[in-house]
């Protein structure tokens, strides 16, 4: 059987690592890239390089950003006393797209899942403590979804805050969210309502 040229095989292997892309689709993609005008193909390569070179992680909220601190953390007009905890950066994007939350965020970098080895020290809890130590935050809003991992993470954070910063209120999005759902799949109106009717936990 005819083997793929080495550089082509390498690209196909890398593309196959992407979610939802099998070897056949990867080969089709690689063929398409070859057919593109050279500057377009090189431009795509450059975008991938830039992704690593020009993005940074905000030292305050742990979101991906162009600058550190990010545009949200450096915006003095945002409500400094409300801190919304999300599991991943894409949940922050969903919240921002909805446009109703004017406080700040912290991206935890996952949810507790002892079976998968995700323990408290894997999450950005030190950043949370730093934030709470600054004394500006009076309310933490958990926007973690309603999965089992979200519940576990929420309880852990609630206990930690209650013990170390008892004056800080911990709330969660209202339970209108269907059980087992991930925040990033919620529609804008549901999300808005669940923020409006958020509850103490």
Q: Of 70 and 108, which CB lies nearer to Zn ion in the complex structure? A: 70
Query: Locate tokens 């130590």: which residue?
Result: 133
Comparing CA positions, the residue from 154, 198, 158 lying closest to residue 176 is 198
DSSP 60: T
Residue 92 within binding range of Zn ion, rule CB under 5 A:
no
Q: Residue 141 pairs with which residues in a beta bridge?
A: 84, 171
Comparing CA positions, the residue from 179, 170, 176 lying closest to residue 192 is 176
Residue 70 within binding range of Zn ion, rule CB under 5 A:
yes
Q: Of 73 and 128, which CB lies nearer to Zn ion in the complex structure? A: 73
Residue 137 within binding range of Zn ion, rule CB under 5 A:
no
Residue 131 within binding range of Zn ion, rule CB under 5 A:
no
Residue 83 within binding range of Zn ion, rule CB under 5 A:
no
Is beta strand 199-200 parallel, antiparallel or unpaired with respect to 139-142? unpaired
Q: Of 107 and 157, which CB lies nearer to Zn ion in the complex structure? A: 107
User: What is d(CA 143, CA 191) in angstroms, rounded to the nearest whole number?
Assistant: 9
Closest distance to Zn ion from the beta carbon of 136 (Å): 14
Residue 106 within binding range of Zn ion, rule CB under 5 A:
no
Residue 146 within binding range of Zn ion, rule CB under 5 A:
no
Among 61, 128, 144, 186, contact with Zn ion (rule: CB under 5 A): 61
Closest distance to Zn ion from the beta carbon of 163 (Å): 26
Return the exposure string of 168-198: e unless at least 16 CB atoms fall within 10 Å of the residue's CB, then b. bbbbbbeeebeeeebbbebeeebbbbbbeeb
The structure tokens listed for 169 are: 């209120």
Residue 95 within binding range of Zn ion, rule CB under 5 A:
no
**Window 30-59: contact mask with Zn ion (x via CB under 5 A):** ----------------------------x-
Q: What 3-state class would DSSP assign to 150?
A: helix
Q: Of 11 and 92, which CB lies nearer to Zn ion in the complex structure? A: 92
What secondary structure, in 3-state letters, does 16-37 show? Answer: HCCCCCCHHHHHHHHHHHHHCC
Q: Of 58 and 123, which CB lies nearer to Zn ion in the complex structure? A: 58
Among 11, 12, 15, 60, contact with Zn ion (rule: CB under 5 A): 60
Catalog residues that contact Zn ion under the rule CB under 5 A. Answer: 58, 60-61, 69-70, 73
């Amino acid at each position: 059987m005819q083997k793929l040229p080495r550089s082509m095989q390498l690209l196909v292997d890398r593309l196959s690592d992407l979610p939802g892309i099998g070897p056949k689709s990867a080969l089709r993609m690689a063929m398409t890239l070859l057919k593109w005008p050279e500057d377009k193909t090189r431009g795509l390569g450059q975008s991938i390089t830039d992704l690593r070179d020009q993005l940074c992680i905000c030292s305050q909220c742990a979101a991906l950003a162009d600058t550190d601190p990010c545009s949200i953390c450096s915006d003095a007009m945002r409500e400094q006393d409300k801190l919304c905890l999300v599991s991943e950066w894409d949940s922050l994007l969903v919240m921002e797209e909805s446009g109703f939350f004017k406080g700040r965020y912290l991206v935890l970098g996952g949810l507790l899942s002892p079976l998968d080895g995700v323990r408290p020290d894997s999450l950005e809890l030190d950043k949370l403590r730093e934030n709470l130590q600054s004394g500006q935050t009076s309310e933490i809003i958990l926007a973690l979804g309603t999965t089992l991992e979200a519940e576990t993470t929420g309880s852990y954070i609630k206990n930690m805050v209650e013990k170390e910063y008892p004056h800080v209120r911990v709330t969660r999005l209202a339970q209108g969210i269907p059980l087992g759902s991930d925040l990033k799949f919620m529609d804008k109106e549901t999300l808005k309502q669940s923020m409006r009717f958020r509850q103490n936990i």
